[in-house]
Amino acid sequence: MTFTLGRRRSLARDGKGWFSVWPGATVLLGAIFLAWPAFYNGFPILYPDSMTYLDDGRIVARAVFLHRFSNYYGMRSFFYSLVILPFHWNATLWPVVALQCLLVAYVLRLVVRSISPRLAGAHYLVLVLLLSLFTSAGWFSCLILPDILGPVLYLSIYLLVFARKTLSRSERIFLSLIACWGVASHATHLLLAGGMCLLLAGILAFERQPRRRILGAASLALAIVSVAAGAQLALHAYLFGKPSLNGERPPFLTARIIADGPGRWYLDKHCGELNWAICEHVHNLPADPDQFLWAPDGIWGAASDSAQKQMLREEMPLVAATLRAYPRQQLYSVLTNFLDQLWIFGLYDLDPSSWVLDQFDSVMPAARAAYLRGRQARNAIPLEFFTTVQYWSVFASLGLIAVMLPLLGRRSSARLIELGAVISFVVLANAMITGPLSMPEDRFECRVIWLVPLFAGLLVLAWLNLRQTAKQTHQS
C-alpha cells in the first residue's frame, strides 16, 4: 500500500497518469479553447461527408450488434461512425465535438510535456490557445469528420516510440487505443501510419540506436497498424462476405488518371480493342474527378451495379497500362498534384452545402433547426479571413523554425528533432497521398498543416525551458 500511494504521488508530481488534478484541468481548458469555432458557429462544423458518417453508424451497428443486415453500408470508415454513434445517437453533435477536442487537448499536453516538462502548464494553455485561434486545429477538432484523428494518430505514435519514458502505463494504453482508432478511421491514416513504421526505424538507425530498440519501435508502430487493419478486414468480411481494407469504395484512381490526361489518352487509343465498361464512356470522359465520381449523372453515379463492379475490376489494369504507356507524363501529373496539394490548405471547404441540409431530415431531424441558426448554414463565417490568418501563421512558423533551430543548436533535445522529422514526414506524405491519388483539395492538407505552427511553438518552449534551467543553475 505504501509503495502504491508513493507511486501515485510521484506520478502526480510529474504530471503523469490519472492522479493529478492540474493536468486534467489544463486539458479541459485546452479542449474548451479548441472548441471555440463550434461556439462561434453556434453548431458543430459540418462537411457533406459528415452526414454519411453519421448515417452509416446506426446501419452498421444494427448489422454488428443486432444482425440486421443491409444491402448498403456506405463507403466511409465504419469505425469512426461506430465510435461516435454513442456520442450523438443521431440527436445532437456536441458530445462528438467534446470528444474530439478532449482527445486533441490531451495528446497535445503529453507532447508538450515530452519536450518541456517544466512548462507543461500555463505555457501549454497559451500554445493551445494560439493554435486554436490562428490555425485549423480548432476548426478540425469541431468538424464532424475523422480528419482530426490523423494528427492525433501521428503525435500518439511519436509519443509511444520516442517519448515512451515520459508516459505512465495507463497513458501508453490509452494512446495505443487512440492510435488504433485513428488508423482505422480513414484510408489515408492507414497509409501514412504504415509509412511511419519505416520512418521510425530509419530515424533510430540514423541515431545509431541498438538494433533491439529499432526493431521494438518499428514493431510497436506496426502492431498498431496491424490491429487496425485486421479490424477493418474482419468487419468488412462480416458485412460484405469478403475481407477488404476499403469496403465498397469508388474507383478513385480511375477518375484521377483520366482527369490527369494519360488515362484518357490510353482509353482513346485502345478502347477499340478492349471490352471494358469504362470504354462505353470514352467520348465523354470528364476532366474533373468529382464529376466522374459524385455527379448524379456522372459515369460512376449513373452506372449500374454490375457496371460499377466491372469498373472496379478494370481499375488496376487501367492504371498499370497507363503507367507503361505514359510514365513520364503521369509522373509529371503526380508531382504537379503533390505540389498543388502542399500549398493548398485553406478553410474554404467548410462553406455551406445544400446537400447537408437535405440530409438532416433523414439523418438528424431534431438538429435541423439548430443547424440553420448557425453561421455556417447562413454562409456567415468569414472563411477568407480565417484562411489568410492560417497562411500567415504557417509562413511565420516556418520563419520561426528557421531561426530557432540554429539558436538551439546542439542543445536541441533528441525528442524535438524526432518530432520535427515526424511532422515533416506527415506534412509531405499527406500531400503526396491525397493530391495525386484523389485530387488537390484544401481540406486534405488543412487537417495536418497546423502541426507546423505546433512545432514552432514547441521550439520556443524548449528555448524557454533551457533559459529557465540555466537561470536556476546560476542561482544555485
Q: By three-state DSSP, how is residue 45 classified?
A: strand
- Tally of CB atoms within 10 A around 366: 10
Whether 44 is covered by a domain: the verdict is yes
Per-residue pLDDT, averaged over 432-444, amounts to 92
Indicate the pLDDT class of residue 93, thresholds 50, 70 and 90: very high
Give, in order, the Cα–Cα distances in Å from 70 to each of 245, 324, 469: 19, 40, 62
Residue 264's φ and ψ, nearest 5 degrees, are: -65, -40
User: What residue numbers bound the domain in which 21 lies?
Assistant: 2-249+341-466
Residues in the chain: 476
**Grid cell listed for 417:** 528533432
Task: Catalogue the long-range contacts made by 16-24 (C-beta closer than 8 Å, 24 or more residues apart).
Answer: 16/166, 16/167, 16/168, 16/171, 17/168, 17/170, 17/171, 18/168, 18/170, 22/121, 23/109, 23/120
- Res 371: pLDDT: 96
Helix/strand/coil (H, E, C) string of 218-241?
HHHHHHHHHHHHHHHHHHHHHHHC
Residue 130's pLDDT band (cuts 50, 70, 90) = very high
Q: Which residues contact 23 (CB under 8 A, 6 or more apart)?
A: 15, 109, 120
> What whole-number distance in Å separates Cα of residue 450 and Cα of residue 204?
25
Residue 9's pLDDT is 43
Per-residue pLDDT band at 73 (split at 50, 70, 90): confident
Tell which residue, 293, 298, 309, has the closest CA to residue 254. Answer: 293
Contact by Cβ (8 Å): 111, 159: yes
- Is residue 332 situated within a structural domain? no
User: Which are the contacts of 307, defined by CB distance < 8 A and separation ≥ 6?
Assistant: 277, 280
Q: What angle do CA 382, 148, 435 make, to 5 degrees?
A: 80
Q: In sequence order, which ranges of 116-136 are alpha helices (DSSP H)?
A: 122-134
User: Lowest-confidence range among 42-46, 347-351, 358-362, 413-417?
Assistant: 413-417
Residue type, 460: V
Interval 239-254 mean pLDDT: 84
DSSP string, 200-218: HHHHHHHTT--HHHHHHHH
**Which of 295-304, 328-337, 427-436 is least confident?**
295-304
Distances (CA, A) of 5 to 214, 299, 382: 35, 66, 52
The pLDDT of residue 338 is above 90? yes
10-14, 121-125, 207-211, 460-464: least confidently modelled range:
10-14
> Confidence band (pLDDT; 50, 70, 90) for 155?
very high
**321: in domain:** no
**Grid cell listed for 334:** 503526380
Residues 53-69, mean pLDDT to the nearest whole number: 92
Q: By three-state DSSP, how is residue 143 classified?
A: strand
User: Could you tell me if 225 and 190 are in contact, meaning their C-beta atoms sit under 8 angstroms apart?
Assistant: yes
For residue 426, pLDDT over 70 is answered with yes
214 has pLDDT over 80: no
Residue 472 lies in a domain: no
The C-alpha cell 488504433 sits at 180
Residue 186 domain flag: yes
Amino acid at position 392, single letter: W
| Residue-level pLDDT at 412 | 74
The count of structural domains within the chain is 1
The pLDDT, as a whole number, for residue 118 is 76
Burial of 437 (0-12, 13-18, 19+ CB in 10 A): middle
Of 74-78, 255-259, 356-360, 425-429, give the lowest mean pLDDT range. 74-78
Query: Mean of the pLDDT values across residues 214-236?
Result: 88
d(CA 102, CA 86): 16
Is pLDDT above 90 for 411? no
Q: Is residue 84 scored above 90 in pLDDT?
A: yes
Residue 83 covered by a domain: yes
Express each pLDDT in 345-357 by its tens digit: 999 999 999 989 9
Mean pLDDT of the chain: 89
Residue 472, pLDDT score: 67
Find the mean pLDDT for residues 393-408.
94
Q: Which residue has the higher pLDDT, 138 or 74?
A: 138
pLDDT at 391 over 50: yes
pLDDT in tens, 18-30: 446 777 899 999 9
Asked, for residue 325, whether it belongs to a domain, the answer is no
CA 109 to chain centre: 18
Q: Please tell me the distance from the alpha carbon of residue 56 to that of residue 81, in angstroms, as a whole number.
A: 6
CB 75 within 8 A of CB 244: no
- Vertex 182 angle, CA 179 and 186, to 5°: 150
**Whole-structure pTM over 0.85, yes or no?**
yes
Is position 331 within any domain? no
Three state DSSP letters for 14-33 = HCCCCCCHHHHHHHHHHHHH
Q: pLDDT band at 474, cuts 50/70/90? A: low
Percent of the chain predicted with pLDDT > 70: 94
What are the tens digits of pLDDT across the range 253-284?
Answer: 999 999 999 999 999 999 988 889 999 898 88
pLDDT of residue 424: 96
| 252 in Cβ contact with 319 (< 8 Å) | no
Give the whole-angstrom CA distance, residue 344 versus residue 435: 10
What's the rounded Cα separation, in Å, for the pair 301 and 316?
20
Flag whether pLDDT at 397 surpasses 60.
Answer: yes
* pLDDT of 132 strictly over 70: yes
**Given this model, what pLDDT does residue 476 score?**
60
State residue 13's pLDDT score.
42
State the CB neighbour count (10 A cutoff) for residue 403.
12
